[in-house]
Chain A
Amino acid sequence: MTAIATTAEFKENAHEALHDARLQRALVHARNFTGRRAAAAARLPEFEALRDSARAIKDHTLAHLDLYLEAYERKVVEAGGHVHYAQDATEALKIILDLCRARGAKSVTKGKSMISEEIGLNEALEAAGIEAVETDLGEYIIQLRGESPSHIIAPAIHVTKEDVVEDFRRVHRQLPPDRDLSQPEQILAEARGILRQKFRAADVGITGANFLVVETGTSIIVTNEGNGDLTQILPKTHIVVASLEKIVPTLEDTAQILRVLARSATGQDASVYTTLSTGPARPGDPDGPDAYHVVILDNGRSNMLGGEFQDMLRCIRCGACMNHCPVYHAVGGHAYGWVYPGPMGAVLTPSLIGVAEAGQLPNASTFCGRCEAVCPVRIPLPNMMRHWREREFERRLSPAPLRYGLGFWRFFAKRPALYRLATDLFSRAMGLAGRSKGRFSRAPFASGWTKYRDLAAPEGATFQSQWRARSGAVK
């Protein structure tokens, strides 16, 4: 029961997004991340060395993942917790629903978790008659709107302040209708008040995990609001749902990755709350849950190990790649059509739901390379998108005009003499045809270009012939 995908309609989604004035206004804020990340990185001389260190830790862990998982499980059990394994979304949902039912849960609070989005947890809980309350402010807002996150760390980045006020007035009917919500502080205070009651009423708290630490059997969440912490200390049961690549060997290894995580994500040196949870409350503890469960989700990831997409499993979900992506900036996250948007989504989504469904996403890139340049664990995102494009082409999933076009180009590219002759003739013909104005306002097969700007007419010889002439002159 994985979240429903509309990735196959990326082109249509993107087109709609580009013409959505409200979305375009909201997306302006997505560009603020770049300067903050750059400033945080510049403030720490060891930042680049830490990126290398984080990458090495992730590579080492993935190469020994079976052994680390077994060792992690032993430590969790030692601390009084339980570990459950789920091969796919259906299994994960069954485990979580059974745990909630065993506790007679009527209400569940949730910390922010992309894995819970991936398995469609809220829908499953609601279908089982259990209220699921998102407690991260951004997640709460989009839950009220019946939407999915459009960004992995700023889920409501596509929503304007005015939208939030409308939603709050629509849903919080118990409050005076004429209350003042003109200031962001008032909106936040209202959400805080409403959610405080939900925190106190919840029977089960479900969080994700940024890290699962083998050395101590610990789950770690990194947040700014404190909602994840109220989710995991107030209810009687704490359930952690995380994918298997969240495993990190030691606390020291965790510190390496933490140092690049917040800086890459929000540009903070450290997020406000980094919380280590290990097992249920200990004897004598006056607060904390009395049951602690970890659900480890595979959902296709173990198939990525050892292959050309293994590097993607290094991802620590900071969002830097989408924060720096011109395509994401232009169309936002929803256009990508599944849980993970931006460059990391374009690489991960075909791995998890298949290239037939998500083959369009790796094409949503200009290959500008900014994502790889800022990735804290140096995932070669453009290269991996290229791998997916090749697979899409090999499997004949790309549209016919594209395939024929590429075939046509390949015919000439493999015959250099013919290629030179053809381009030379073509550029002469174009130069002649555009002689009067030096540009074209219309050209066959290029209306996508000429609709917005003129196409310059070639003025003389091709690059290759000029190059030959010049290198000849030097000799």
Chain B
Amino acid sequence: MNSREAILANIRRSLSVTGREGPRRFEVEARLAAAPAGVVPQRGQGDIGVRSAIFRAEAERAQATVAEVESLSDVPAEAARYLRDSNCPATLRMGADARLAAMPWGETALEISDGPSDGDDLNAISFAFAAIAETGTLALASGADNPTTLNFLPENQIVVVAREEIEADYEKVFGKLRRVYGKGGTPRTLNFITGPSRSADIEQTLLLGAHGPRRLHIVIAG
């Protein structure tokens, strides 16, 4: 008997089951198929105005900064302003996201580079898969559009959120995940990000910028 079978056999012996019981199998399959929601907090629920206000407040509570712009075409100017005001160099790396590509970057003085980060970039911008009002959290999906390295290697991370994609809770984002990737499907990496990187490992003192970005700037567009 190999280890896999030995472990499964021991689990079944301990639970006094055989693994072939119809009702047990049915219960497992039903739960996986239905993925029932449990207790979903009230916080974050409401129309888009309420959701974006709560999202903003919660993200700021987690030490992110937030700006709101009228439309996607206003994002480059806001990104340039943010980097200038934060005394950051006028460079920006991004993936192949069509919505980012369509923005008027030529109207800014920013030097734009493409593709994943090799660790030398100071600034990066990504487009969020969705956002979650409940905890001020961003959801970012891996792929050529928004490479995962951009979420962790640069010092300053800018993330664009389309206002109508701010959801109330995690469960709504899981619903969207199933619509986009199919039931049971996911991107290779899905990052839920709440504020900039931090550590409290030195005498419980909270310090920002441990291994990931020191700053997280969120631009809500629309």
Chain B hits for A268, CB < 8 A: 62, 194
> Once the chains bind, are B203 and A154 in contact (CB under 8 Å)?
no
> Once the chains bind, are B8 and A286 in contact (CB under 8 Å)?
no
Alpha-carbon distance between A70 and B207 when the two chains are bound, in angstroms? 42
Alpha-carbon distance between A234 and B200 when the two chains are bound, in angstroms? 24
With an 8 Å Cβ cutoff, the count of chain A residues facing the other chain is: 99
Alpha-carbon distance between A218 and B184 when the two chains are bound, in angstroms? 10
> Once the chains bind, are A225 and B199 in contact (CB under 8 Å)?
yes
Question: Is A305 positioned at the interface, with any CB of B under 8 Å from its CB?
Answer: yes
Alpha-carbon distance between A331 and B162 when the two chains are bound, in angstroms? 51
Question: Is A113 positioned at the interface, with any CB of B under 8 Å from its CB?
Answer: no
Alpha-carbon distance between A86 and B3 when the two chains are bound, in angstroms? 6
0/1 per residue, A251-274, Cβ < 8 Å to B? 111011011000000101111111
Alpha-carbon distance between A223 and B84 when the two chains are bound, in angstroms? 30
A280-335 residues with Cβ-Cβ distance < 8 A to B are: 280-282, 284-288, 296, 298, 302-307
Alpha-carbon distance between A45 and B45 when the two chains are bound, in angstroms? 14
> Once the chains bind, are B207 and A284 in contact (CB under 8 Å)?
no
> Once the chains bind, are B31 and A250 in contact (CB under 8 Å)?
yes
Point out the residue from B28, B62, B143 that lies within 8 Å of A68, measured CB to CB.
B28
> Once the chains bind, are A69 and B35 in contact (CB under 8 Å)?
no
Question: Is B192 positioned at the interface, with any CB of A under 8 Å from its CB?
Answer: yes
Question: Is A184 positioned at the interface, with any CB of B under 8 Å from its CB?
Answer: yes
Point out the residue from A154, A255, A286 that lies within 8 Å of B144, measured CB to CB.
A286
A26-67 residues with Cβ-Cβ distance < 8 A to B are: 26, 29, 32, 44-46, 49-50, 53, 57, 60, 63-67
- Closest A residue to B140 using CB positions: A275
0/1 per residue, B11-26, Cβ < 8 Å to A? 1101111010000110
Question: Is B186 positioned at the interface, with any CB of A under 8 Å from its CB?
Answer: yes
> Once the chains bind, are B198 and A66 in contact (CB under 8 Å)?
no
With an 8 Å Cβ cutoff, the count of chain B residues facing the other chain is: 81
Chain A hits for B43, CB < 8 A: 44
Question: Is A200 positioned at the interface, with any CB of B under 8 Å from its CB?
Answer: yes
Most interface-central of A64, A141, A258, A281 (chain B CB within 10 A): A64
Q: Quick check: which of A131-139, A360-368, A431-439 contacts chain B, the rest being far away? A: A131-139
Question: Is B142 positioned at the interface, with any CB of A under 8 Å from its CB?
Answer: yes
Alpha-carbon distance between A205 and B194 when the two chains are bound, in angstroms? 23
A237-257 residues with Cβ-Cβ distance < 8 A to B are: 244, 249-253, 255-256
0/1 per residue, B188-222, Cβ < 8 Å to A? 11111111111111111101011111000000000
Residues of A in contact with B (beta carbons under 8 Å apart) = 26, 29, 32, 44-46, 49-50, 53, 57, 60, 63-71, 75, 85-87, 91, 135-138, 141, 154-157, 160-161, 164, 184-185, 187-189, 192, 195-196, 199-200, 214-218, 224-227, 229-230, 233-234, 244, 249-253, 255-256, 258-259, 266, 268-282, 284-288, 296, 298, 302-307
**Beyond known contacts A227-B210, A287-B149: 10 more, CB 8 A cutoff:** A45-B41, A69-B11, A137-B202, A268-B62, A270-B137, A276-B192, A278-B187, A288-B142, A302-B14, A305-B15
A-B pairs, top 4 by smallest CB distance, nearest first, are A226-B212, A225-B210, A138-B201, A305-B14
Residues of B in contact with A (beta carbons under 8 Å apart) = 2-4, 6-8, 10-12, 14-17, 19, 24-25, 27-28, 31-32, 35-43, 58, 61-62, 95, 115-116, 119, 135-137, 142-144, 147-149, 151-153, 169-171, 174, 177, 184-205, 207, 209-213
Q: Could you pull out 27 A-B pairs where Cβ atoms are within 8 angstroms?
A: A29-B204, A46-B42, A49-B39, A64-B27, A67-B28, A69-B11, A87-B6, A156-B202, A160-B203, A164-B202, A188-B210, A224-B199, A249-B28, A251-B35, A251-B177, A252-B35, A252-B38, A259-B41, A269-B194, A270-B136, A270-B194, A272-B193, A273-B193, A275-B190, A284-B143, A285-B144, A287-B148
